[in-house]
């Protein structure tokens, strides 16, 4: 049995297979997931698991050089935005429209669906390298 880190087999596999510049999307419960993108559905019930807890676990396992966030989060969900930016720390953040976000998520290796119901609680992570 794995001792630490992400235990979910599908999520663990996607992270371990990611190369430089690959992307993974972590979403709220309502983001439309493209049919051609792997869906890792962790949602158990409304609000659980939380988006930020999933993001924190992924950031502990994945080297991330950049993140894309829908610009609408700043006005619609300012508290979530503040917490998201805090969790991302020094990672470069680029704001795009929610429509652009949905289009860009089509290129992700996977979309990880949380049970989060806060509007615009979504992020696309761009994989970096550890050297």
How far apart CA 53 and CA 63 sit, in angstroms, is: 17
* Catalytic-labelled residue, pool 7, 9, 20, 99: 20
DSSP code of 39? Answer: E
Length of the chain: 131
* Beta-bridge mates of residue 33: none
Catalytic residue list contains 20: yes
Q: Which residues are catalytic?
A: 20
């Amino acid at each position: 049995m794995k001792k630490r880190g992400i235990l979910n087999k599908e999520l663990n596999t996607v992270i371990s297979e990611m190369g430089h510049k690959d992307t993974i999307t972590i979403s709220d419960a309502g983001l439309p997931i493209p049919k051609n993108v792997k869906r890792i559905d962790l949602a158990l019930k409304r609000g659980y698991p939380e988006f930020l807890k999933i993001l924190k676990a992924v950031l502990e396992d994945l080297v991330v050089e950049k993140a894309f966030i829908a610009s609408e989060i700043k006005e619609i969900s300012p508290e979530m935005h503040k917490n998201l930016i805090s969790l991302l720390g020094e990672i470069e953040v680029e704001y795009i429209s929610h429509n652009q976000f949905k289009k860009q998520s089509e290129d992700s290796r996977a979309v990880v669906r949380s049970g989060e119901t806060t509007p615009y609680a979504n992020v696309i992570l761009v994989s970096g390298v550890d050297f």
